[in-house]
Amino acid sequence: MRETAYRQIRDAGEKLLALGINTTHSGNVSVRSETEIFITRTGSRLDRLAESDVISVGLNEEGKGIASVELPMHRAIYQNTPAKAILHAHPPYTIVFSLMEDSIFPVDNEAFLFLGEIPILKPKEVSGSAETGNLLATAFNRGTHITVIRGHGSFAAGENLEEALHWTSTLERACQMGYLLRTLSEFRYREIIRARRDEIRKQKRK
Structural domain spans, the chain:
2-179
CB 200 within 8 Å of CB 117: yes
Q: What is each CA distance from 12 to 18, 19, 121, in whole angstroms? A: 10, 11, 24
pLDDT in tens, 174-198: 999 999 999 999 999 999 999 999 9
* Per-residue pLDDT, 206: 66
pLDDT at res. 55: 92
pLDDT in the model for residue 126: 85
pLDDT of residue 2: 75
Q: Given this model, what pLDDT does residue 23 score?
A: 87
Ordered strands of the 28-32 beta sheet = 54-58, 36-40, 28-32, 85-89, 153-158, 146-149, 118-121, 103-104
Treating both helix axes as pointing N-terminal to C-terminal, what angle do 130-141 and 71-80 enclose, rounded to 10 degrees? 40
Alpha-carbon distance 202 to 183, whole Å?
29
**Per-residue pLDDT in tens (0 to 9) along the chain, 206 residues:** 778 899 999 999 999 999 999 888 889 999 999 999 999 998 899 889 999 999 999 998 876 678 899 999 999 999 999 999 999 999 999 999 999 999 999 999 999 999 999 999 999 888 888 999 999 999 999 999 999 999 999 999 999 999 999 999 999 999 999 999 999 999 999 999 999 999 988 887 76
**Within 10 A of 102 (CB to CB), how many other CB atoms are there?**
9
Q: Which residue from 17, 158, 159, 181 is spatially nearest to 105, judged by alpha carbons?
A: 181
Give pLDDT, residue 63. Answer: 63
pLDDT at 204: 75
Rounded distance between C-alpha atoms, residue 63 and residue 55, angstroms: 13
Domain 2-179 architecture? 3-Layer(aba) Sandwich (3.40)
* 126 secondary structure, DSSP code: -
Cα–Cα dist 25/17, whole Å: 9
Distance CA 101, CA 107 (A): 14
